[in-house]
Structures are given as C-alpha cells and as structure tokens.
A and B are shown apart, each in its own frame.
Chain A
Amino acid sequence: MKGQVEILLVEDNPDDAELTLRTLKKHNLGNHVEWVKDGAEALRFIFGNGQPPVGDIHTPRLVLLDLRLPKVDGLEVLQRLKADARTRVIPVVVLTSSTQEQDLQRCYELGANSYVSKPVQFEEFADKVAQLGLYWLLVNKAPGPA
C-alpha cells in the first residue's frame, strides 16, 4: 500500500538494506518502509511512470538515499526531488558509505536535509539509523505535501 509509505529506502546493497530495515523494525519504525534498489526505481515510485495523470505522485515522509546506485545515481535522484516543487519538501537523508568531501558538498548544494556516513561498526550504524528514523518521523515537524 503505497499510500501508507512513510520511509522510502533507496539502497542497492541488500545487506545494508537488511541491516537498515532490521534496525527500523526494532524501533517500531519499519511498518511503512518501501525499499527500492536503484535510482530509477526510486523516481518511478515517487513520480509514477511519467504518464497522466501527472499529478499522481507519492510523497513519503522521509527518503533514505544511498549515493552510488545502479542506473540513476543518488545525486540525480536528489536533484530531481529538490527541483520539483511537489517533492521539494520531502526530507532527504543521504545515507552513504562515502566520506568524500565533494559528495558531502554536492549533496548540500542540491538541498539534502542531512548527510550521514555509514560506519563499519554495527552498533554505531544501528544507532545512527535509529536516531535518523526517530528524529525525522517523530521529532521533526515537516510541512504537509504540496
């Protein structure tokens, strides 16, 4: 049921995806999560097939976005989301293995709401994911869909 999706997880690595989903579930945040494996799928989920009715889009309450993705990479997904007035307000948290300064820079330029690098150590990783989910879905107050 797409209408109920609260978190869109864009992650090509099934292991990372499993760890993320497991953590979210553990904190009771995993019931309305949609996992897609590449950028193209992510865009299709949000914008549909580009066929009419054009206005029919999905606006999750949070997007967890990896950067290195097959087909359409994370930066492009981010750009598309932030360039469209209807999706601009969706919080996008970049969740990536990259610690590269240029990625960080570019993501903020494109309007990322947060940038989190995935630690190697599981406790750290789980802690970060849990914090993110709790913060963006429970603490943070976002405007309604445009």
Chain B
Amino acid sequence: MKRRPAARAGRDPSARDQIAALRARVAEADELLGAFQRGDVDAVVRPGTAGLQIFTLKGADQAYREMVETMSEGAVTLSPEGMVLYCNQRFADLVGHKLEQVIGAPLGRFSAAADGAAIVALLQRAQAGPARESLTLQRADGARVPVYLALRSLAERGVPAIVGVVTDLSELRRAEAAREREHARLRTFIDANIVGVIIVAADGAILEANDYYLRLVGCNREELLQGRVDWRALTPAQWLPADENTLRELRESGRCAPYEKEYQRRDGSRVWVYLADAVLPDSSGEIAAFAVDITDRKHGEAALRDLNATLERRVAQRTAELEAANKELEGFAYSVSHDLRAPLRAVDSFSKIVVDDYADKLGAEGQRLLGTIRRNAQTMGRLIDDILAFSRAGRGELSRVEVDVAALAREVFAELLPAAGQRRIELCVGALPPAQADRAMLRQVLVNLLSNAIKFTTPRDAARIELSGAGDGDGVEYAVRDNGVGFDPAYAHKLFGVFQRLHTADEFPGTGIGLAIVKRIIDKHGGRVWAESQPGHGATFHFALPLAAAPPVTEPA
C-alpha cells in the first residue's frame, strides 16, 4: 500500500471528500488487520500475473490441515469430473499408490473395474447433494478393498469441487463374514435336527422352530409361520404351574435349569420333553429353547418303576407267605412239643407204675419188656426235644457282635466239664481272632462241637482238645481238633444231616442233631463247616465265618 494521499489532496479541490474516502479506507484496513489478528482470515486471494494468487496464513488453517492429514478415513477433493485434486496420505495408502501418483488421476482408476459405472453415477448424484455408496477399490498390488465413499459438492459454496471421505470397510466386512460363518454353523446345527430348537416371543407365540420341534409337537411349518402355535396350547394343564415357575426364573436370571415336561399334540397324544430355556439378549423378551424327546426314556423309566413295584409286591407277597409258612411251622413245633410229649409221658409213666406195682406178677421177662417200652418212649421224647432244638436253632434275627471266641470256648468248656466226671480232659486254646457273629448262636456251636469232642474222646486216658484259628481280610476260620475215636471219612458228607450218626447209640449216646444245628447256625452266618478224620486218629471240625454280613445260605432240604 503506497502513501500518496497528501499529494492527491493538494491537487483536488474537493480535498475533504478525498480525506473522507481515505479515512474510510484506513478504517477498512484496520478492520482487515483486526480480522487477521483474530484469525478470522484463512487466506487472501489477489489477482497476480498468473491469475489469482492465494496467500495462506500459516497457523490459521493448521488445525484443519492436521485433522485431514491424520484422520483414519481417506479424504479426497475431486474436480466435478472426478479428477483427484487433492487427497490425504490415508487415501493414497488405501489405493496403494504414492500420493503424487494419485493427485491428478481420475478416481475411477482406483476402483474395481465393475464399479466404474457406479462411480460415474455417484459423481453425478453428488452434484445434487450428498451421495454415498459402498464400493470396492482396487489397489496397485491388485488387492481389493471394500470402502464406503461419501461425496459432497462444494458448488453451493462457490467452489467448483467435490469433497469425499473414504471409509475402509475391510474390518467390518471381516467381522460380518465371521458373524455369517458363525450364524451358518448355528444354522447347520439347528437344521441338523438333533434336538428341537425354538424361539418363543414374550407372549408365548412360537416364532421359529426347526423340523425336530415341529415333529415333536405335531405341527407343520405353515401353522407356525401364521403364528398359530403357542407353547401354552401345547402344554397339558397339569404342567402350566411348573411352566409359570420356569418363566419367573427366566425373567429373574435370564436362564433356567433344564427341566422335563409333557407336550400334548393336537391328536391328543403326549410326548415327554427335556427342555432348557434362555432369554435372548437384545430382544424383547424372546426365549430360545432346546427340546429333546425323552418319551422312550420316560416310558422305560415307568416300565422299570412298574417292574420294581411288581417285584416289591411279589417280594412282599412271598415274604408274607414265608412268614405264614414259618408261623405254621412254629405252630407245628409247638404242637409237637406239647401234644406229642404228653402221650409219651403216659406210656413211660404207666409202664413204670406197672413195673412198680405189679412186679411180682410180671416176672423178669415182663419187666424187661416194659423196660424196652419205656426206653423207646424216652428215646422218642429226646428225638422230639432235638427236633424242637433244631427248629429253634438259627431262627430269628442275627445280632452280629464281635465275639472273643477263645474266652467263649473256655467258658463253655468249664460248663461241660462237670458232666464228664473224673475224666482227664485238656483244652488247649491257641491265639484266636475274634468273630463277627451272634453270640448266643456261636455259643451253641461251641457247646455242640466241644461236647462232641468230650464224648468221642471217652475211650482215651488223656483226652486232648485243641482249638485253633486264623483270620484274613475276608473272614476267620476255626478248628476244633480232638484225639478221640474219629470217623470214617467216607461218610463225612452225612455228618451234618439231621439224625445222622456214624456211631451206634451203644457206643456213644446221642440222636445226631448236634452237628445239624452247628451247620444250620454257620449257614445262617454265611459261613462254612466241614470235618476231617481218620478212624482212631481223632477228628477235626472246621468252621469259617465271613467278616462282613453275607447273605445267609439257603439250607438244602
């Protein structure tokens, strides 16, 4: 700006006007200066030798420039024909060319061949207003980049250019593809119809269902799509309260524990299902559910229950029958005990009275004969007593306790000894493991075995009875060995039978019930009894008892 106002004012007669004009220009200049200072001015455009010259003020547009250069979208300025006037580095990177190669080139060069027409159309639309389009760019290296291109013409603002922003959609597309793959997998799973899958609206209408589910409930897809299938209509009334509980649980926690229920098909048939529900997130309360047909399993279970009930009934019935039979036997034993002994007593007693009161008339032979009658009556009395003892042995519940067998044996022996009179009998008790047994029953076993040993050692000057034993994890085993007359092992199997005797009553008294009682008691404990001997060399009786309670062995008839 040149300073010439004074000269002009001196020549011009209307100096005042000039001064006024000059003042106005000074005011204008001041205002302009103020605008510069305030940063209101980005650039000054002046006519120059090569047309308009643009003077920009560094600092004023710095922020905008930085924003454009560093933004993660591509930015581009195009001529109305689509020539790149300007672009940021990001745009150049997107198309894979150097910045200077991009500027001045037509935009269409960077698009995939198929999108050429789309770009032309987009540019045209941009003249009329904002225009956007998804396109594919083709990079210099041939790679294709999906992008979103938004264009806007600046014509309204008096600038003959179009600005554009390019967003790289690669990540988005990859994520979409991943989602689609995921969805496809889920779809495959659902369509495989391994389980029933449904989506239910909050109001109960079934929105979606796979074929499995439709088969399950006996509906077709058309009915489903018409919204005519409601799970409540499929549910027998008895299950509705349980379903309400499930729904409450779903509302509160978004899921529920899997449960079983029944569906009722339109034809009235019922089907058992195993269900698991979950509320779909980001939905208006829709529920996804899996349903599995468990009808066969349920019927199997019911059949099993019926079978069990039948078996239990049968067991109860048999038990009752057995108890009745047992009671009958007891009644029989009672009768035997009471009614059979009375006549025998009469036979014996009146025989004795005859012997006493009519001795002189009978003579020796008559007395002998009556003696025989009496002896037989008494033997029969003993047999009856023994039958009763045998029927009582091992009856009733076992009450297993730990028994000190050695102490019990000594106690029993001490009780038996007086009956043996002046005989020399020695009992040797080794270190014995304790037994798990019913004490009273085991006592009976020892009484019978030890009294046998005492009886069959009668001919020995020095009788010796040894009691030994051993145990392991399964059970314990004891042996009663004597130095008595022994028995012929050929008949060992007969030893434990009722009224089986290997010696005559003349040799050794007895009815042959003691060992049968021993066997019965040991059997009841789930144990085993056996014997070995050589005639004249003593006998050994073994019995083994399990440690734990074992089922009693049924006694052979």
Contacts and interface: CB of A to CB of B under 8 A. Distances in A.
A97 B349 contact: no
Contacts of A120: 341, 344-345, 348, 377-378, 380-381, 384
Interface stretch (A13-21, A81-89, A107-115): A13-21
A122 B385 contact: no
Contacts of B380: 120
A130 to B, nearest CB: 14
Contacts of A125: 345, 349
A16 B338 contact: no
A65 B348 CA distance: 22
A122 B344 CA distance: 10
Contacts of B377: 120
A119 B338 contact: no
Nearest to B346: A15
Contacts, number: 65
A122 B352 contact: yes
A79 to B, nearest CB: 19
Q: Chain B, interface size: which category?
A: 20 to 34
Interface string A112-146: 00000011111101100000000000000000000
A59 interface: no
A17 to B, nearest CB: 11
Nearest to B379: A120
Contacts of B351: 122
Contacts of A118: 341-342, 345
B440 to A, nearest CB: 12
Contacts of A126: 349
B350 interface: yes
Nearest to A103: B334
Contacts of B276: none
A95 B356 CA distance: 25
Nearest to B343: A15
Contacts of B364: none
A118 to B, nearest CB: 6
B342 A15 contact: yes
Interface residues of A, number: 21
Contact of A122 (B338, B341, B345, B388): B345
Contact of B337 (A15, A16, A97, A123): A97
B324 to A, nearest CB: 17
B345 A19 contact: yes
A122 B348 CA distance: 6
A31 interface: no
Contacts of B381: 119-121
Contacts of A121: 345, 348, 374, 378, 381
A118 B384 CA distance: 13
B404 interface: no
Interface string B334-378: 100111011111101111110000000000000000000010011
Given A97-B339, A99-B337, A100-B334, A123 B352 contact: yes
Contacts of B346: 13, 15-16, 19
Contact of A98 (B334, B348, B352, B353): B334
Interface of B: 333-334, 337-339, 341-346, 348-353, 374, 377-378, 380-381, 384-385, 388, 392
Given A16-B342, A120-B381, A122-B352, 10 more contacts: A15-B342, A16-B345, A22-B353, A67-B338, A96-B338, A97-B338, A100-B333, A118-B342, A119-B381, A123-B352
11 contacts: A19-B345, A98-B338, A99-B388, A101-B392, A118-B342, A121-B345, A121-B374, A122-B349, A122-B353, A122-B374, A125-B345
* Shortest 7 CB-CB contacts between residues of A and residues of B: A120-B381, A122-B349, A15-B346, A122-B352, A97-B338, A97-B341, A120-B344
